[in-house]
Amino acid sequence: MENQDIVFFLPTRKGSERVLQKNTRDFAGISGGILHLKLQQLLDLDLPYPIVVSTNDEATIAVAASFNSPRIHIVERPDYLCQSATNITDFINYIPTIIPQGHVFWVHATAPFVTSETYLRALELYKNLPPQYDSLFSVNKIQQFLWDPETNRCINHDRSVLKWPRTQDLKPLFEINHAFYINSIANYKTYEDRIGNAPYYFELNKLEAFDIDWDDDFKVAEHIYRSLHGV
């Protein structure tokens, strides 16, 4: 796989409803916020791969441009693909129009604790996937008692056999945490999806899987970051 075949893809949009300006507002003393942090993590990989920042947000454009890096390419996204009601499939189908070939490493700024080292491990694994896999995404492994209120039963355990087994003996399930996806443009076009037909589950630990989705998440993430980095 040639260097130019990999493109990091980092989307943002203006008008976040649950966490105001969540990508660019100051985060634990970092000007430019979690977007600045994520771009720095990608640049710290010291790889020749381009970073495409897809956005309609002026603040995102300013933060991305502040790096003055030839690796960062800002692509202004049409507003109709930046709405809270935008169909994600429409957005996925848009990506091959700006990245016409190769492979997309899609990351989110809202996963601030995924490290450069983890991105590198995921990338190396993707490059050497066994033939039964065609893509990769990040997940959390869940081995807890999960209850379905509609059927009024546990969905990952048969309680008629044993009501309360050890949690480590429960059937594991996997939550997609949206930290990253790696997939080929060919699969984007074939499946109209950011994963292929047989994705590899790349497990993250609880810290790296932390996702900022609500204002409380943002505040907790700041406390964690300060604790980890002594700021």
List, for residues 184-199, the tens digit of each pLDDT value: 999 999 999 999 999 9
Residue 38 confidence class, pLDDT cut points 50, 70, 90: very high
CA dist 42 and 107 (Å) reads: 10
List, for residues 46-91, the tens digit of each pLDDT value: 899 999 999 999 999 999 999 999 999 999 999 999 988 889 999 9
Q: How far is CA 144 from CA 128, 160, 201, in A?
A: 32, 17, 18
**Strand partners of residue 103:** 6, 184
Residue 105 confidence class, pLDDT cut points 50, 70, 90: very high
Is 2 a residue whose pLDDT tops 50?
Answer: no
Residue 1 confidence class, pLDDT cut points 50, 70, 90: very low
Mean pLDDT estimate for the chain: 94
The pLDDT of residue 18 is 75
- Whether residue 199 contacts residue 139, with contact meaning beta carbons closer than 8 Å, is answered with no
The pLDDT of residue 227 is 95
Domains and CATH numbers, the chain: 3-139+175-229 (3.90.550.10)
CA max distance for the chain: 62
CA dist 204 and 171 (Å) reads: 18
- What share of the chain has pLDDT > 90, as a percent? 91
User: Is this model's pTM higher than 0.85 or not?
Assistant: yes
End-to-end CA distance of the chain: 40
List, for residues 191-224, the tens digit of each pLDDT value: 999 999 999 999 999 999 999 999 999 999 999 9
SS3 140: strand
Size (the chain), residues: 231
List, for residues 108-132, the tens digit of each pLDDT value: 999 999 999 999 999 999 999 999 9
